Structure 1
């Protein structure tokens, strides 16, 4: 048996997440230094700070990698790796495409590029469940938003300018959908982020990325085989629909026995368990100790 490793995106960050994460690891300290805070948990108590795109992307990238470093010594290498939205930065780093410090640099540059787009067209994201994709596609067309993330047959995230997103939410609720506004202030993975994708592509072009050491799947180009594909994938997903449903199918096709989600909340584990009930998934946020995480993975191998 083997396992897949997936890294969460932003929107679920909270002060109590990853309760077992060592506060004094080198990577946690580096992440706090990049953010200019002494204690990231205290910083997350401020809802405005926590929702900042610049803060969240850097924090989740650094903490995701710190958590994985803490676990990796006691686990076999994962069979395959993927990341959800900004979680791709941690995933690509865990796969050996670039080191953790570079991942933090890229998180900063990615967030800044997206914030510049949002300054021109303020927007956000809305999680919607209970509508089939054809119905949701029609709703998006009628209200002027776009599908940002595909999670399943009746679960997705839509994005767009605030007024259009409000229209979409109202119409979705009228159709008995369940809607949740995400804690982001940009219309990630939609056409409104194209300038950010172009800017990030220029940033990536200057970096000497490496070929993945692990099987790595992306939100935009399926499996990533080399540095050229890695650069294209990381830039493209900023302004294109995240095909998380296809990422999950790719991971399952590797014959994994379980899935471990690293990051805040349990969203990816929950989506996975709905799609693949015979292949268990758990989130690191479920556990009170790193030993318990390791024990669960080993129990599935």
Structure 2
């Protein structure tokens, strides 16, 4: 059995997401470290996961990082789940880097705060957002974006999530224009995400620079798990500096999740376990490796996830199938 641990990104958040995290010894230590660090950062609310607090991109990203690392601590340290590979979507990559050994949790939280604030500042001059476009290939989606977007209301592919799903960044006006044009181009639907910035696009070039500078001041640890990069969808096995570069640069480049999902079977991944909140990444990886076991902790709990991960992948009766 080869297990990949998956960490969701912004859009998966929900109010109260930090209230029911595991309370095992290692998870409790991670939660306490996060609380101490967050309490030392000016302007971070307590609690962090109220509906009002989660309207902030920065708060949302800090909450997602905390949820991912606390849950992973319970899975790996307290329940002895053997994890070979980590993969995080967008800000989820920071949780992946912590579990891979490259970053400490406190350092990751401080850098993510810089990241979130930079993203908010980059989008302060207009009303920005993101939306999932389904039913078109990446090439067809790009042609549609080229037709709809303008210099004053641009559109960019931000995430390549599946063979027929991309996430688009742009102004609210351009996303609305895209919604009106998408059906005629053959798209099934366009769903606006719970995100108030435009990420993974050239608009975030300055954010990438400040994140890179913040990471330059962090002592990187020895990497002990393979990390799937956002910018390439490829594996980084033992190069902490390459992981840090991916963390910094991903905010201005599309997330190549589809490439990472297709790579997992080639790497021998037989089981994926997604940390809370949600199960979006589980839905995205399942079609690319239907023979594997795919588990979302939100569906079955930590102990249930560990039990299911231990089963023979050929026993498919326990799996819940979802579509993105």
- With normalisation by structure 2, the TM-score equals 0.85
For 1:12, the equivalent position in structure 2 comes to 12
Per-residue Cα deviation, 1:26-84 (whole angstroms, up to 9, x for no partner): 3334445514314x5xx43x2x4223101110000011100110111323431211111
Distance 1:95 1:54 in 2: 23
Secondary structure of the residue aligned to 1:299 is coil
For 1:136, the equivalent position in structure 2 comes to 141
Query: Structure 1 residue 272: deviation in Å?
Result: 0.9
| 1:193 pairs with 2:204 | yes
Distance 2:146 2:290 in 1: 33
Per-residue Cα deviation, 1:174-203 (whole angstroms, up to 9, x for no partner): 444222111111111011111111121111
- Is the 8 Å Cα contact of residues 189 and 241 (structure 1) preserved in structure 2? yes
Distance of aligned partners of 1:72 and 1:162 in 2 relative to their CA distance in 1, 3 Å threshold: same
Choose 100-109 or 7-16, whichever is displaced more.
Answer: 7-16
Distance 1:206 1:101 in 2: 13
For 1:70, the equivalent position in structure 2 comes to 74
Distance 1:236 1:120 in 2: 22
For 2:86, the equivalent position in structure 1 comes to 81
Distance 2:241 2:178 in 1: 37
Distance 2:46 2:218 in 1: 28
Equivalences for residues 155-174 of structure 1 within 5 A: 155-174=165-184
Per-residue Cα deviation, 1:121-163 (whole angstroms, up to 9, x for no partner): 4411101111222221111111221110001110111111222
Query: Structure 1 residue 211: deviation in Å?
Result: 3.6
Distance 1:244 1:299 in 2: 26
Equivalences for residues 186-225 of structure 1 within 5 A: 186-221=197-232, 222-224=234-236, 225=238
- Is the 8 Å Cα contact of residues 9 and 85 (structure 1) preserved in structure 2? yes
Query: Structure 1 residue 17: deviation in Å?
Result: 4.6
Distance 2:255 2:21 in 1: 30
Per-residue Cα deviation, 1:237-289 (whole angstroms, up to 9, x for no partner): 000010001111232211111111112111000111122211121111112x3
Distance 1:142 1:211 in 2: 46
Distance 1:265 1:153 in 2: 21
Distance 2:33 2:259 in 1: 34
Distance 1:134 1:230 in 2: 28
| 1:22 pairs with 2:23 | yes
For 1:3, the equivalent position in structure 2 comes to 3
Q: Which runs of 5+ in 1 are unaligned?
A: none
- Is the 8 Å Cα contact of residues 279 and 296 (structure 2) preserved in structure 1? yes
Distance 1:244 1:163 in 2: 27
- With normalisation by structure 1, the TM-score equals 0.91
Distance 1:253 1:127 in 2: 27
- Is the 8 Å Cα contact of residues 11 and 51 (structure 1) preserved in structure 2? no
Distance 1:107 1:155 in 2: 27
Query: What RMSD, in angstroms, separates the aligned Cα atoms of the two structures?
Result: 2.0
Q: How many residues are aligned here? A: 295
| 1:36 pairs with 2:45 | yes
- Is the 8 Å Cα contact of residues 21 and 70 (structure 2) preserved in structure 1? no
Query: Structure 1 residue 114: deviation in Å?
Result: 0.8
Distance 2:16 2:309 in 1: 22
For 2:279, the equivalent position in structure 1 comes to 266
| 1:93 pairs with 2:98 | yes
Distance 2:55 2:294 in 1: 27
